[in-house]
Amino acid sequence: YYIRWWFSMFLSPSPPAVIMSSVLQKLITPLASGPAEPPRNKVTVVGVGQVGMACAISILLRDLADELALVDVMEDRLKGEMMDLQHGSLFLKTSKIVADKDYAVTANSRLVVVTAGVRQQEGESRLNLVQRNVNVFKMIIPQIMKYSPNCTLIVVSNPVDVLTYVTWKLSGLPKHRVIGSGTNLDSARFRYLMAERLGIHASSFNGWVLGEHGDTSVPVWSGANVAGVNLQKLNPEIGTDADKEQWKATHKAVVDSAYEVIKLKGYTNWAIGLSVADLTESIVKNMNRIHPVSTMVKDMYGITEEVFLSLPCVLSSGGVSSVVNMTLTDAEVSQLRKSADTLWGIQKDLKDI
């Protein structure tokens, strides 16, 4: 008898449920009726790998979302990441964190960050890598649009400029609502490395890296300045091979930095996560702040093809509200066109978009 009583008291699921229901009814008197209001700043992150979770935690720590949704095909990993974040709810101001492999969980998202994709295999061509990612995006993007037709998309997966173009094609969204994370991170790396050499904080050096997020990115030396003092006026050779101070090496370090980090720790995640949170803030807070992000550049700077490259873009609640027409040198424009040609060389051979 004693054993049966013990099991009924401590192992039966029924009594706790009854007690909790009773406590809830006694504790709280509901006043409002009807369905709950939908979230106003719901953010979804697609892909819970190292980059996706760095984006998620950066967005959470900056209090940018009233609901965060995570989506991935790896169910155990997805559930584990969701629970880990939920257990930290006391230290966050995001009231709801959800996750599922079913895209219904993303419904009513204001912003969707896409970090999912396949990794490059040893010896694999860039075109083949992109084509495999196109096949992944053909499953992801329509599902996002089904549940959040009014969202803005930020593409982070690499090669980001080509995949932003792919996303634009697959989503059917206007071009201003499809954004690539682009050279926002390249510019941050550039500002950090230049500022380190100058002995100042990164925010006090003003410089831009445009074009492709990759090997053909374009450092705008003609606009690099500190407190309005143009560095090219102090050193007309800055950024060229003729420069005795070899400032050009700083941009090479920007291009090589991702490879260096990957060599040391296996992947990059924290800096891109912080970069994406920076973009998220500008959009959800309607800040009209300028970022170098990947956008459609056809008919700009003599580019004739439908490619996405990074230019200084004003980000607001609707995505890219406008593009700043930077005064570039002939050499910089030439480099930008070369960047566009590199991307078009890949895009033109893509199939089934």
Do residue 209 and residue 304 come from a single domain? yes
Long-range contacts for 119-123 (Cβ within 8 Å, ≥24 apart)?
Answer: none
Report if residue 192 sits inside a domain: yes
Do residue 223 and residue 330 come from a single domain? yes
Tell me how far apart the alpha carbons of residues 38 and 82 are, in angstroms, rounded to a whole number: 20
Q: Is 291 a catalytic residue?
A: no
Answer yes or no: are the C-beta atoms of 343 and 212 closer than 8 Å. Answer: yes
Q: List, for residues 5-20, the tens digit of each pLDDT value.
A: 444 544 555 555 555 5
Give strand pairing partners of 294.
180, 310
pLDDT of residue 19: 55
pLDDT of residue 9: 47
Do residue 196 and residue 288 come from a single domain? yes
Boundary (domain end) residue, out of 139, 158, 180: 180
| Total number of domains in the chain | 2
Boundary (domain end) residue, out of 145, 180, 215: 180
Task: Report DSSP state, residue 66.
Answer: S
Q: pTM for the whole thing?
A: 0.91
Q: Is 7 exposed, middle or buried (0-12, 13-18, 19+ CB in 10 A)?
A: exposed
Provide the residue range defining the domain that includes 231: 183-348
Do residue 207 and residue 163 come from a single domain? no
CA atoms in the 13 A half-sphere facing the CB of 270: 4
List of the chain residues with pLDDT < 50: 1-7, 9-10
Which residue do the tokens 């969707």 mark? 112
DSSP per position, 68-100: EEEE-S-HHHHHHHHHHHHTTGGG-S--EEEE-
Tell me how far apart the alpha carbons of residues 173 and 64 are, in angstroms, rounded to a whole number: 23
Tell me how far apart the alpha carbons of residues 2 and 106 are, in angstroms, rounded to a whole number: 50
Do residue 190 and residue 155 come from a single domain? no
Report if residue 270 sits inside a domain: yes
Cα 144-295-283 angle, rounded to 5 deg: 60
Boundary (domain end) residue, out of 180, 206, 231: 180
Report if residue 291 sits inside a domain: yes
Which residue do the tokens 């920076």 mark? 278
Do residue 328 and residue 189 come from a single domain? yes
Answer yes or no: are the C-beta atoms of 115 and 157 closer than 8 Å. Answer: yes
Give strand pairing partners of 323.
313
Do residue 292 and residue 334 come from a single domain? yes
pLDDT of residue 17: 52
Do residue 225 and residue 247 come from a single domain? yes
pLDDT of residue 177: 99
SS3 of residue 320 by DSSP = strand
pLDDT of residue 5: 44
Report if residue 320 sits inside a domain: yes
Give the domain CATH number at 115: 3.40.50.720
Residue at 104: amino acid letter: A
Q: How many CB atoms lie within 10 A of CB 194?
A: 23
pLDDT of residue 18: 52
Q: Is 10 exposed, middle or buried (0-12, 13-18, 19+ CB in 10 A)?
A: exposed
Report if residue 11 sits inside a domain: no
Do residue 172 and residue 188 come from a single domain? no
pLDDT of residue 121: 72
Give the domain CATH number at 333: 3.90.110.10
pLDDT of residue 16: 52
Of the candidates 235, 148, 149, 143, the one whose C-alpha atom is nearest the C-alpha of residue 194 is 235
Contacts of 285 (CB under 8 A, 6+ apart): 64
Do residue 329 and residue 239 come from a single domain? yes
List the binding residues for NAD(+).
Answer: 47-52, 72, 133, 156-158
List the binding residues.
Answer: 47-52, 72, 133, 156-158
Tell me how far apart the alpha carbons of residues 92 and 333 are, in angstroms, rounded to a whole number: 45
pLDDT of residue 227: 98
SS3 of residue 119 by DSSP = coil
Contacts of 212 (CB under 8 A, 6+ apart): 161, 183, 309, 310, 339, 342, 343
Tell me how far apart the alpha carbons of residues 7 and 13 are, in angstroms, rounded to a whole number: 10
Given the residues 87, 176, 201, 213, select the one marked as catalytic. Answer: 213
